[in-house]
Amino acid sequence: MAGSSQPFFTHTLPQGLRIICAPGQTDAVYMGIAVRAGTRHELASESGMAHFTEHMSFKGTQHRSSRQVISCMENVGGELNAYTGKEETVYYCTSPKQHVARAIDLLLDLALCSTYPQEEMSREVEVVIDEIESYRDLPAEHIYDEFESLIFPGHPLGRNILGDAETLRTFRTADMEGFAQRLYHPENMLLYVLGNVDPEKVVRMAEKTWYTIIGNKPQHYCQRATALLPTSHTIISDVPRDVSCITRKKDTHQAHVIIGTQAFGATDPRHLHLYFMSNLLGGPAMSSRLNLALRERNGLVYTVESNCVAYTDTGLWSVYYGCDVKDRARCRRLVTHELDRLMQKPMSQRTLDGARRRLKGQIGISYDNFENVAIGMAKRYLHYGQTLSKEQLFERLDAITPEDLLQTAQAVFSPERLLTLEYV
């Protein structure tokens, strides 16, 4: 069980499935299964398999038809959905409190007993390909995928989560079963619950469901598969780039631009410093430095944002904006000026305190989105075996000093490390 200083309850079933519960005050319960099976865990021949497996899990299990899967929670007013990321797949649902057992039964059935019928695969692959094409029609979205492939060349983290049409059409039921056998096993997944539910009851519900739907199924449901995952390694590099700007010709009205570089993994203390500065530069507030510089003072852009992504062993920081083609150079000078400000001298204590107050307020408000809070809790415990309360996060923010920010800015924002990708 989690320590008394934290509102988290944790438990591990004999089969290896971890469970984490956090209290909630609403009648809705937010829950799901998080699986350490993302794009980076695919073999070279499996590009898009993690995402396609997520889709196909909704097409039927050993105990439910596709129609029964999608109606199971809807029939009692709940919701069921899923997403695939670079490092995990999450099946999540919102359930009325009185139907938590139903939700647990469904989630474990999806994760452990999906059948991936070939007939359904042949239809669903066209849905996924339509999804791929829809992203290509949105340059403001597609540019992020290409930028990540440039930041992480030749590494699974640089692959598009959705895969490509040619590879997807080669997948067969046996391929998906092999992928699931390698990754969808209890020790590689987590059941999470946030809500006004007794954690001990959650454990009993999970144990009952396990006995009912799994029973004496094949051994890969009960122990780690012997097949090795693709090697994971740290890929942060301080080597200056050979090319600092890449321009792609696109038939778009605006120029779409991303400037960024590799950054820090989620457990590196400098990630929090970078996240803090990213929020100051181009977070959701209209008073962010880049919004003031590019939009409010000069009217050059409609949207400008700074993003900070952290994986288990590396990360990515970037600034995105859309502008008239003729304004690209001016916009870049303004962005560079704001980065230089952060690198040249320590931030004043007054500025730091104001930015910290604003960020803590944004985080506090975000905790009203219980679904996101639950998924965030699950991802952290899945990957790191740790929990982090809002209060603990605030303590870490309070500990940041101007010198911390200066050193991190100089490590990340130096011009020789930055790459620019333009769609014009």
73-130 per-position pLDDT tens digit: 999 999 999 999 999 999 999 999 999 999 999 999 999 999 999 999 999 999 999 9
In the block, which residue shows the tokens 């499935």? 17
> In whole angstroms, what separates CA 369 from the centre of its chain?
16
> What rounded mean pLDDT belongs to the chain?
92
Residues 359, 361, 363, 369, CA torsion sign: negative
According to the model, what pLDDT value does residue 214 have? Answer: 75
Residue-by-residue DSSP string for 279-291: HHHHSSSTTSHHI
Residues pairing with 247 in the sheet: 422
Inform me whether the pLDDT recorded for 135 exceeds 70: yes
Facing residues of 366 across strands? none
Task: Assess whether pLDDT exceeds 90 at residue 327.
Answer: yes
- Please determine, for residue 412, whether its predicted confidence score (pLDDT) is greater than 70: yes
Q: What's the pLDDT tens digit per position in 287-308?
A: 999 999 999 999 999 999 999 9
Strand order in the sheet with 245-248: 245-248, 419-423, 255-263, 315-323, 301-310
pLDDT at 230: 40
Spans of all domains in the chain:
9-221, 245-423
The reported pLDDT for the residue numbered 216 is: 56
- Residue spans of beta strands (DSSP E) within 324-398: none
Q: Please, which pLDDT band fits residue 211 given cuts at 50, 70 and 90?
A: confident
The superfamily (CATH) of domain 9-221 is: Metalloenzyme, LuxS/M16 peptidase-like (3.30.830.10)
Q: What is the pLDDT of residue 239?
A: 59
More confident residue, 260 or 1: 260
Contact present, 224 and 289 (Cβ < 8 Å): no
The pLDDT tens digits of the residues spanning 311-322 come to: 999 999 999 999
Give the model's pLDDT for residue 218: 47
Given a contact cutoff of 8 angstroms between Cβ atoms, the answer to whether 372 and 90 are in contact is no
Gap between the Cα atoms of 272 and 280, Å rounded: 12
Count how many residues are written for the chain: 424
Does 9-221 match 245-423 in CATH topology?
yes
Q: What's the pLDDT score for residue 238?
A: 59
Name the band, by pLDDT with cuts 50, 70 and 90, for residue 3.
very low
User: What mean pLDDT do residues 324-347 have?
Assistant: 97
CATH classification of 245-423, choosing from 3.30.565.10, 2.120.10.30, 3.40.1160.10, 3.30.830.10?
3.30.830.10
**At residue 219, does pLDDT exceed 80?**
no
The token pair that represents 413 in the structure block: 């924002």
Task: Report, as an integer, the average pLDDT of 193-198.
Answer: 97
Sheet holding 18-22, edge to edge: 9-12, 18-22, 189-194, 28-35, 89-96, 79-84
| Structure confidence at residue 228 (pLDDT) | 38
Sign of CA dihedral 361, 263, 399, 192: positive
Element of type H or E holding 380: helix 370-384
Yes or no: say if 235 and 312 are a contact pair by the CB < 8 Å rule: no
Q: How many Å is the Cα radius of gyration of the chain?
A: 23
Residue 324 has pLDDT above 60, yes or no: yes
* pLDDT band at 233; cut points 50, 70, 90: very low
Angle, vertex CA 214, rays to CA 39 and CA 174, nearest 5: 45
